[in-house]
DNA sequence: AGCATTATTTTCACTGCTCGAATAAAAATG
DNA sequence: CATTTTTATTCGAGCAGTGAAAATAATGCT
C-alpha cells in the first residue's frame, strides 16, 4: 500500500515527467503541442519548459533544425532533448556475445563495443572485471560523454533474485550468483540495473510498433532459448522485474525432454533450436543439449522442413505443440490481445503455426475470448536494444530529471 | 500511458484517499495517528478531516466509544467512518446459492438475503430479474439504507469480457452472455461491478491475514471448481479485472479428462471434487462430470483416503499432480512468495501435498528461487465476502469520497 | 487548589503549483 | 502597412501542503 503523500513538489514532478514523456514518445514538439499532448495549460508548459531549459535538460531547436511546414501565424519553436544532458551505458549480454553501447540523452548511439563470448569467457574473466574493463575502454574513447553517464543498464537472460540485482540462474555460463551489478555500481559510482531480455523485447516491441503501444502483448522469443515478456495495456507489468517470465522453462511434458537448464520437459527443450535439432535427428530426448547451434544449421532445417522432409516437419510440429500449450497455459493466467513471435524461430512460424493454433483452440480462454492475434516478427536484436534504450532513458527522464532539485 | 495531469485537486484527492485508506485498514484513529500513518503534516490532517467531517463522511467518536488507554496530555479524539455516509449491496453468486448482503459504510452487515440455486434457476427467472427482485426486497426491508446505496458489487465465477461487464462463460447455468450488470445499473441507477470470485479470494486473504498484506500471494480455491486469484506485493494486479485467472481451466493434460467447461484435460477436471470422485470410482475420464457433488460424499472420500484406501489416495494423488503442475506452470509467468490453498479441498491438502511439491520441485523457478510457502486454509466463504466487502468500500472511499466536490 | 507538564489539535504566515485571461510576439496576407 | 492568425509569456487568483506557534485539555506534583 506504499502510496505516498502528494504535495506541490510531486505535482511538479508528475507534470515534468509528463512533458519529458511526451517528448520521448513524439520527438521534438512545440510548446502548444506539448500543452495539448499532456493536457497541461499553456501557462504551465511555459513554466515547466523554462525550468527544464534553464537546467539544460531540454533546449529550443534552431529554426533550421525543424521541418518547416509553415503557414500563417507565429512559427512554433520546437523543444527537444539536450543530447548533452546525460548519457547511458547499455550492455547486452547474450550466450555468445556481449555488446556495450553508449547512447546520449537524445537516444543517439555514440559508440559501441562488441565482444564474442564463449562458455569459458566468464570463467577466465570474472563478469565484474569483464564489464568494468569494457566500460572503462568506452569511457576513455569518449571522455566528454564519460562524465555525464548516469546509468548502466544490462540486458541479461535468466532468473533474477527478488531485488533484481543478482542473476540466480542463467544460460550464460559462469555469470549466475556473481554480484556484478552491485560491484559495478560501486566501482563506477553509478546506478546499475539488470533487465531480463524477454522483458525488454516486450518493451521494444511497444516502441517499434505504435499499434502495440497500448495493447496487452506477450512477446515470445524463439531461438537458442525460448523466452517471453509481457506488457499490460501498454504498461510493463509490475514496477521492476515482473513482466518478465520464465516461459521457456515452463513445464510442457512431465519428465520430458532434457533442457539446458537441467530440468526435464521445459518448453525450450522442444522449441528452441537445439530442441528442434535433437528431435529432427532422432537424438534421444535425454541426451545433453548441444551447447550452441550454428545459425545455418537451424536455417537448413527450416529449409528441409519447408521442402516437406518428414523428420524436420515433425520436429517443428513438436516445437509448435510445446509453444502452443505453453501459450495456452500462460493464457489461463494472463491473456494478451496480441502475441508476437520473434527471433530466429519466427522464420519457422509457418511450420509451427498449425500446432500452436490447435493447442490454443483447446483452451477455454481462447474458446471464449477468441484466439489472440499471433504475429511473427523477424529480427529480435533491435527490439532488445531499443527496449533497453527506451527503458533506460525513460528511467532517467522520470527519476533523475522529473525531480526538480 | 494514460498518466494524468496533476493539480491541486488531485493532490487533495490523493491525500484524502490516504486518510480514508488508513481508517479503512486501521479502524478509528486520532488525528495524530493519521498524521504519522499517512505521512501528512498535522496541519493538513486538520484541514482534511475538517472537510470530511463537514461532508458527513467521517465523524468524531464520542469519548465513551474509545478504549481508554489514557495517560498525561490532552486526550485524543478518534475519528471513524460515518456509517450512514453510504452503503453497498453485495451479491455472491455461486453454483448452488446466491447471497445478497447490505453493508453500511463502516463495513457492518445490515441485512442479508440467501437463496438456493439450481441449474434451472436462471432459466426460469432471467438473471436481471432475479437480482433486481432481491435487491428490491432488501431495499424495502431497509428503507433508510436504500436511499444511500452507492454501489452494487457482484461476485461471480467464470470468464468476463474485456470491459468486465458481461460473463462470457460461467459454471453457473444460464447466466453467461446476459447483460445483467448493465441492466441492473440502469434499473437502479447505480454503478454495478462484477468481480471474479478467485480474485476476491486473493483480496480477502490479504485483509484476513495482515502478514499477507504486502506479499505476492496466489490464492487457489479447490472445491467444486478450481480457481485462483493473485496479489502482487499487496496490490491486486492490474486495475480492473486482472489478477483473476482461469487457473482451473489451465490445460494439464493434452486431450485429458473431460472438464465441466467442455474442454479436455483442465486442472479442474482432475482436482475438483467431481474430478477426484470420478477418478476414485474409476469412471472413465471422458464421462460427463457430475453436476454437483454433495459435501459429505467428498468428505467421505477424504476420510477413506486418509484411512489408506488405494483408489481414494490415487485420486487425490492425481488431483495433487494436476494442481502441482498447474502451479509450476503458473510460476513460470508469475511467481508469488506465498500460495494459499482454500476451499473444501484445503482439507485434503495433506493427501495432495507430496504430489504438489514433487511437481513444483521439477520447475526451474522453484529450484532457483526455492519453493513458495504453501498454506492450506479452510473456509473460503468469509474471504470471498470480506474481499468483496473491502474491495467495494475501498472503491467508494477512493472514487466517491476522495474526490472533494 | 494551583501551577507545571505533557500530548493533541488548530491557527497562521509562507511557498509552490496550476489555471484562465490578457498581453506580447512573430509571421503571412491583402 | 494594417489585419489576421498562430504561438508563447505574463499576471493575478485560488488552492494545496508545511513548519512553527498557539490553543486546548487532561494529568501530576506541591
pLDDT band at B45 (very low <50, low <70, confident <90, very high): very high
Q: How far apart are CA B28 and CA B40, in angstroms?
A: 17
Whether residue B83 is predicted with pLDDT greater than 80 in this model: the reply is yes
Per the prediction, chain A carries an average pLDDT of 91
Crossing angle for the helix pair A295-306 and A310-333, to the nearest 10 degrees: 100
pLDDT of residue B4: 83
Whether residue B138 is predicted with pLDDT greater than 90 in this model: the reply is yes
pTM of the complete model: 0.91
What is the count of residue pairs from A and B with beta carbons less than 8 Å apart? 174
- Burial of residue A163, with CB atoms counted within 10 A of its CB: 0-12 exposed, 13-18 middle, 19 or more buried: exposed
**Between B120 and B382, the higher pLDDT residue:** B120
Q: How far apart are CA A229 and CA B141, in angstroms?
A: 52
pLDDT of residue B244: 67
pLDDT band at A239 (very low <50, low <70, confident <90, very high): very low
Q: How far apart are CA A363 and CA A332, in angstroms?
A: 8
Q: Each residue of A321-347: pLDDT tens digit?
A: 999 999 999 999 888 889 999 999 999
Strands A109-116 and A97-104: antiparallel
Whether residue B13 is predicted with pLDDT greater than 70 in this model: the reply is yes
Average pLDDT over residues A163-189: 94
Is B232 within 8 Å of A242 (Cβ atoms)? yes
Average pLDDT over residues B376-396: 88
C-alpha cell at A225: 532459448
Whether residue B62 is predicted with pLDDT greater than 80 in this model: the reply is no
**Between B190 and B405, the higher pLDDT residue:** B190
Partner-chain residue, chosen from B39, B332, B368, that has the shortest CB–CB distance to A245 = B332
Phi, psi of A222 (to 5 degrees): -125, 120
C-alpha cell at B72: 498525561
Is A56 within 8 Å of A85 (Cβ atoms)? yes
Q: How far apart are CA A293 and CA A274, in angstroms?
A: 6
Q: Which of B286, B348, B292 is nearest to B323 (CA)?
A: B348
Q: Each residue of A265-310: pLDDT tens digit?
A: 999 999 999 999 999 999 999 999 988 899 999 999 999 999 999 9
From chain A, pick out residues whose CB is under 8 angstroms from the CB of B234: 1
pLDDT band at A385 (very low <50, low <70, confident <90, very high): very high
Residues of A from 70 to 99 whose C-beta is within 7 A of strand D: which are they?
71-78
Write out residues 143-162 of A within 8 Å (CB-CB) of B.
159, 161-162
Percent of chain A with pLDDT strictly greater than 70 = 94
A265 touches chain B (CB under 8 A): yes
Is B314 within 8 Å of B336 (Cβ atoms)? no
C-alpha cell at A12: 511538479
Strand C-proximal residues, CB under 7 Å?
A: A 8-9, 11-12, 15, 39-44, 47-48, 63, 70-75, 404; B 5-8, 30-33, 42-43, 45-47, 49-50, 71-78
Is B309 within 8 Å of B257 (Cβ atoms)? no
* Among the ranges given (A81-90, A342-351, B229-238, B392-401), the one the predictor scored with the smallest mean pLDDT: B229-238
From chain B, pick out residues whose CB is under 8 angstroms from the CB of A362: 251, 254-255, 263-265
Q: Which of A377, A375, A317, A323 is nearest to A351 (CA)?
A: A317
B251 touches chain A (CB under 8 A): yes
Q: Which domains does chain B have, with CATH numbers?
A: 2-81 (1.10.10.10), 87-199+384-401 (3.30.420.40), 208-379 (3.30.420.40)
Q: Is there a contact between A332 and B214 if contact means CB atoms under 8 Å apart? A: no
Q: How far apart are CA A26 and CA B174, in angstroms?
A: 49
Angle at A22 between CA A17 and CA A27, to 5 degrees: 130
Q: Which residue is nearest to nucleotide C17 (CA to C1')?
A: A8
Sign of CA pseudo-dihedral A99, A103, A108, A110: negative
Whether residue B369 is predicted with pLDDT greater than 50 in this model: the reply is yes
Which of A26, A269, A364, A397 to mutate against chain B (most B CBs within 10 Å)?
A364
Amino acid at each position: 500500500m506504499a502510496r505516498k503523500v502528494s504535495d506541490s513538489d510531486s505535482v511538479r514532478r508528475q507534470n515534468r515527467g509528463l512533458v519529458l514523456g511526451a517528448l520521448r514518445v513524439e520527438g521534438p514538439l512545440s510548446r502548444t503541442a506539448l500543452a495539448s499532448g499532456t493536457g497541461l495549460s499553456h501557462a504551465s508548459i511555459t513554466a515547466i519548459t523554462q525550468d527544464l531549459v534553464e537546467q539544460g535538460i531540454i533546449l529550443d531547436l534552431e529554426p533550421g533544425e525543424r521541418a518547416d511546414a509553415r503557414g500563417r501565424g507565429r512559427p512554433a519553436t520546437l523543444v527537444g532533448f539536450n543530447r548533452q544532458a546525460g548519457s547511458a551505458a547499455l550492455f547486452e549480454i547474450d550466450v555468445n556475445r556481449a555488446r556495450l553501447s553508449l547512447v546520449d540523452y537524445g537516444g543517439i548511439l555514440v559508440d559501441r563495443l562488441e565482444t564474442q563470448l564463449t562458455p569459458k569467457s566468464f570463467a577466465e574473466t570474472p563478469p565484474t572485471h569483464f564489464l568494468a574493463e569494457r566500460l572503462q575502454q568506452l569511457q576513455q574513447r569518449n571522455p566528454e560523454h564519460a562524465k555525464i553517464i548516469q546509468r548502466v543498464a544490462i540486458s541479461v537472460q535468466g532468473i533474477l533474485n527478488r531485488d533484481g540485482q543478482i542473476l540466480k540462474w542463467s544460460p550464460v555460463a559462469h555469470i549466475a550468483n556473481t554480484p556484478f551489478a552491485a560491484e559495478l555500481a560501486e566501482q563506477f559510482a553509478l546506478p546499475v540495473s539488470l533487465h531480463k531480455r524477454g522483458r525488454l523485447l516486450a518493451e521494444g516491441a511497444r516502441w517499434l510498433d505504435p499499434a502495440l503501444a497500448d495493447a496487452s502483448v506477450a512477446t515470445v522469443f524463439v531461438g537458442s532459448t525460448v523466452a517471453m515478456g509481457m506488457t499490460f495495456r501498454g504498461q510493463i507489468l509490475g514496477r521492476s522485474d515482473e513482466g518478465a517470465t520464465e516461459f521457456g522453462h515452463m513445464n510442457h511434458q512431465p519428465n520430458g525432454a532434457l533442457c539446458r537448464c537441467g530440468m526435464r520437459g521445459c518448453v525450450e527443450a522442444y522449441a528452441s533450436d537445439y530442441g528442434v535439432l535433437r528431435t529432427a535427428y532422432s537424438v534421444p530426448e535425454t541426451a545433453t543439449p548441444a551447447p550452441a547451434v550454428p545459425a545455418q544449421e537451424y536455417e537448413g532445417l527450416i529449409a528441409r522442413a519447408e521442402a516437406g522432409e518428414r523428420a524436420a516437419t515433425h520436429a517443428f510440429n513438436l516445437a509448435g505443440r510445446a509453444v502452443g500449450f505453453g501459450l495456452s497455459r500462460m493464457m489461463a493466467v494472463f491473456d494478451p490481445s496480441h502475441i508476437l513471435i520473434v527471433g530466429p524461430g519466427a522464420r519457422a512460424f509457418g511450420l509451427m503455426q498449425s500446432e500452436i493454433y490447435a493447442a490454443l483452440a483447446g483452451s477455454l480462454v481462447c474458446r471464449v475470448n477468441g484466439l489472440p492475434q499471433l504475429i511473427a516478427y523477424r529480427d529480435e536484436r533491435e527490439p532488445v536494444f531499443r527496449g533497453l534504450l527506451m527503458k533506460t532513458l525513460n528511467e532517467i527522464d522520470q527519476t533523475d530529471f522529473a525531480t526538480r532539485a
